[in-house]
Structure 1
Amino acid sequence: MPPSPYTVITGASAGLGKEFTIQCARAGMNLILIALPGTYTKELANSLISTFGIAVEVFEFDLTDSAQLKKQLEHIVAHFPVNFLINNAGTGGTSAIRETSTERIDQIIQLNVRSTVMITHQLIPHLLKHERSYIMNISSMAAFTPIAFKTVYPASKAFIASFSHGLREELSSTGLSISVVHPGPIMTNSNTSRRVISQGMKGKMGLLPTSAIASIALRKTLAGYPTIIPGLMNKLNHLLMTLLPLELKLKIVSREVRKEMQYQPS
């Protein structure tokens, strides 16, 4: 009997990644959790093992560290069969480009773009060994329009959407299904919560519980949906944005995002 397959989840220790971890464990999936050191991921893994009786492996390292990324991926593909990849890890924020450090810009690109592509590229041959396999890439509602005072973040998420759709078409004759998820605002920590609240009703319109976002994303990814937008208000918002001229939607969204500036950590 072949060994049971695993689901790989990046950014698994908190927020949406942690919710994916819990829901996948509840569904009986064996897990490979990737997270930063010191994020209590091993404690989470032990809890899932005892609660759900699944196998869980933990890899704690920084995805922006190219050498570590290569080393750990080589170990994973050599020792574990993988049939589901959830590229969840990402970072963003709100700041004027002139006040944003080169290091911060590079971190966003390295984590949101490079690590996602490299992990996907390394795992595709192993995903294709299974009759059915899946990739879920987490983008954002921000991918649908450029945004001032974020600039690099929505561009990185637009890249993820484009990358996912191109990959899906390229592999359409295989058993590997690729989906891209566009969550709206997620109140994962106090700083994010303050930024969402600062936008008033407009900021909260697309707000869903993290558990609901994860549930919708998992169900529709496993059903083979190419694009997943959780929540009715987010779907309506996307429809509206497709009807507006670029210049207008850029001004509208950027004006609201500018309100977040006061809540950025110093």
Structure 2
Amino acid sequence: MAEVSVIIPCHNAAGVIGRALASVQAQTLTDWEAIVVDDGSTDASLDALSPYLADPRIRVIRLPGNRGAGPARNAGIDAARGRWLAFLDADDEWLPEKLARQTAFLQTTGARIAATAYLRHNDLTGDQEAIGLPRRIAMPAFLKTNVMGFSTVMIDRAWLGARRMPALRRRQDFAFLIALLRSGTEAAGLNEVLCIYHHGHATLSAGKGRAARGTWAMYRVHLGLPLPLATWYFAHYALCGVLRHKAPRLARALGVLRAPGV
């Protein structure tokens, strides 16, 4: 049994999946398995994966049709055999010490969920910004804004049990973490940059709009929050997003945007 199971959903990611897998292979902690869940790709993703399959720690699960990131991650969780579950999106990458530092952090703190700081890299402009997070992450503050980048999250698989990601096309990662924190636990924040989150695609503005609509639907439909409460949390979510991207100095002063410790 591997120490860490890495879950990587992949849909039409031929140009980037190799970078993600190479960053897993470069980890200083070598006792891992990587489960790539191909979610109905119609491009050359499977061809791009082929060179990495010589590594016996990497395996591929193919889903019939495009089901979405949530079902793809759930399929990976179901197939996982590791002590810890780690999640990596196909277009992101990890720094080499990520798994070693985070597993040690989880064991030291006794936390069941942990996330790390990360670097936001704009692939169009080359601009970069380091995003930190608090040491303790709990409800209901987490409902106002998701401070955990999902490609940095690691979870105790035994504690997770049968819980899985909800059947949402968007914001299923946020909803999943909310459900876990609602169980009464807190997540621990390792405020070191150990992941690179790539963004800046041509459809970024449209993507933000879809994310906002998905967040509203998550509050109102999935979580079933009353309209006033959903409006309250969505207003915080939207304001935090605007401050982070348009007024980072003010966001830092208000504690909305945190610098990493390292």
Task: Say whether the fold is shared (TM-score over 0.5).
Answer: no
Q: Which has the higher strand share?
A: 2
TM-score (ref. length: structure 2): 0.34
Q: TM-score, normalised by structure 1?
A: 0.34
Higher relative contact order (CA 8 A, sep 6+): 2
